[in-house]
Every structure is written in structure tokens, then in C-alpha cells.
């Protein structure tokens, strides 16, 4: 059998802070394998159970839960220790009533929050690509690696409220003046603000947004924000 590309382990000292692991333990830790999310913005499922949520004390216990099909990500059972859990993913654990969503919080790229079970079938996804394919059909690509052929009128940097695991678009959230956005990376990660202006990019500058956060305004590339609603977030993200 051909092995999957990519290393299965990472030096513990090199792991992202938001994984929540201890630094002075075994030299290596399991890492994220290639998937929908970037390995720098995702948590391996084994680390998520053992270190982030602290529901297991050893890797063996985490393996038992994962191989036993006790973890669902976006409504799909995942049996890989290295499956990357990333931005806006919904996680269910067999035997627990709590449902988790991973969001930016407190300047961290990812932190789990407990959400209402009624929201576990909804997820916000950001449109990162829009292509015309054979048959003049439109294919949309989203931040979590999924793609969808759809006639929905949406542009790159807009967000969609998606029903999971069916991958059905329920609503579109435009990135425009007046939209509510959440900062997904950097020192302001987790802050929710209101867009005051969208500034188109140039040869040397990316597309940017002027966002009011509390009493201050920041200018930030649109790559680092996600539209989450008009007057308020359409789903629970804090």
C-alpha cells in the first residue's frame, strides 16, 4: 500500500501555541496531515481530544476514541489521528452532550467553544475561489477545502451559511460596508467588528477593509477576516 505524503509527527517545541500542549514532555507529537485546512491553522484530532479538551490523558486513549468512530467533524465520522480540525469546524464527541465549534478567540487562531446542539448542522464558510468550469457551471471553493458547484450569486471573500454534512448553501453573507466580521488571525484574532469601508487592492497592496472594533478602527487585509452577519453574527461564534 502506498503511504500518504507528509510526516506523521512534529517536534513538540515547534507546535502552534493554540494546540494547548505541554512543552516539556515527549520530544514528538502527532501532526496534521494534508487536508482541507492548512497545517498551520488546524489541530490534529488526537491532540484536540487529549490536549485541547483534555478528555484523554494519553495518546492511546485518544486513539481508542478516534478509531472507535467516536468523533464527528462537520457531521462526518473521522478515524484519523491526524485529521485537521480548523476554523468554524463543528465537533461532536460520542457520549458527550457538548458540541464544539472552533473559532478565533483571545488572539488565538483557534479555540473551542460550546454551542447549542441546534446549531451543529450550520457552519460559516468563506469563499476563497470562484471558477467557471465545463458546461459554463460555477464552482465555488471554500476556506475549509471543500468545493461546490452552485448557481448561488456570491463573490470571493463573501461567506456562506452551509448546512452540514449535506453541503447545502442556506444563506449568503456579503463582505461589504456595514457587515459584521471576525478577525481570524493576528493580534486582533477573535475580535468582531463592523466594516466601514472596503479598499480594492493594487499591484503592491492586497484588498483591505477598514473595520471598527469598539472605539478604534483597524485596516486589515480581507484574507484575515470573515463575514459573519449583518447586524450580528448569524450563528454562535463567541
CA distance 18 to 33: 17
Q: Are 124 and 159 in contact (CB under 8 A)?
A: yes
Question: DSSP string of 23-61?
Answer: SSS-SEEE-PPSSSS-GGGEEEHHHIIIIIS---SSHHH
122 CB neighbour count, 10 Å cutoff:
19
Can you name the CATH fold of 122-173? OB fold (Dihydrolipoamide Acetyltransferase, E2P) (2.40.50)
SS3 content of the chain, % helix, strand, coil (to 5): 15, 40, 45
Q: CA-CA-CA-CA torsion for 100, 105, 111, 114, nearest 10 degrees? A: -20
Predicted pLDDT at 27: 76
3-state secondary structure of 65: helix
User: What's residue 25's pLDDT?
Assistant: 73
Same topology between domain 9-118 and domain 122-173: no
Is residue 157 helix, strand or coil? coil
- Pair 36, 64: CB distance under 8 Å: no
Tell me which residue of 132, 145, 189, 156 sits closest to 17, measured CA to CA.
189
Is the whole model's pTM more than 0.85, yes or no?
yes
Q: What is the pLDDT of residue 125?
A: 96
Distance of CA 230 to the CA centre of its chain: 20
Domain at 9-118: CATH code:
3.10.290.10
Q: Say what the pLDDT of residue 126 is.
A: 96
Domain boundaries, the chain: 9-118, 122-173, 180-229
pLDDT at res. 40 = 85
Mean pLDDT of successive 10-residue segments in the chain (238 residues)?
63 81 77 85 92 90 94 94 94 93 92 94 95 92 93 94 94 95 93 94 91 93 95 92
Amino acid at each position: 500500500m502506498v503511504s500518504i505524503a507528509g510526516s506523521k509527527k512534529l517536534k513538540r517545541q515547534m507546535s502552534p501555541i493554540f494546540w494547548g500542549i505541554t512543552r516539556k514532555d515527549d520530544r514528538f507529537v502527532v501532526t496534521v496531515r494534508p487536508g482541507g485546512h492548512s497545517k498551520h491553522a488546524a489541530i490534529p484530532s488526537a491532540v484536540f481530544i487529549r490536549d485541547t479538551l483534555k478528555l484523554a490523558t494519553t495518546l492511546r486513549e485518544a486513539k481508542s476514541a478516534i478509531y472507535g468512530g467516536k468523533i464527528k467533524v462537520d457531521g462526518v465520522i473521522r478515524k484519523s489521528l491526524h485529521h485537521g480540525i480548523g476554523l468554524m469546524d463543528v465537533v461532536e464527541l460520542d457520549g458527550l452532550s457538548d458540541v464544539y465549534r472552533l473559532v478565533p478567540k483571545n488572539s488565538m487562531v483557534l479555540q473551542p467553544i460550546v454551542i447549542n446542539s441546534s446549531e451543529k448542522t450550520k457552519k460559516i464558510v468563506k469563499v476563497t475561489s470562484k471558477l467557471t468550469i465545463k458546461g459554463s457551471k460555477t464552482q465555488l471553493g471554500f476556506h475549509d477545502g471543500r468545493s461546490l458547484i452552485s448557481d448561488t450569486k456570491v463573490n470571493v471573500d463573501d461567506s456562506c451559511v452551509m448546512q452540514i454534512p449535506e453541503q447545502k448553501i442556506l444563506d449568503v453573507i456579503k463582505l461589504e460596508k456595514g457587515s459584521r466580521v471576525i478577525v481570524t488571525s493576528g493580534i486582533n484574532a477573535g475580535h468582531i467588528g463592523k466594516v466601514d469601508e472596503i479598499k480594492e487592492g493594487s499591484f503592491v497592496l492586497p484588498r483591505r477593509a477598514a473595520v471598527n472594533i469598539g472605539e478604534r478602527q483597524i485596516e486589515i487585509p480581507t484574507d484575515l477576516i470573515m463575514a459573519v452577519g449583518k447586524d450580528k453574527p448569524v450563528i454562535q461564534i463567541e
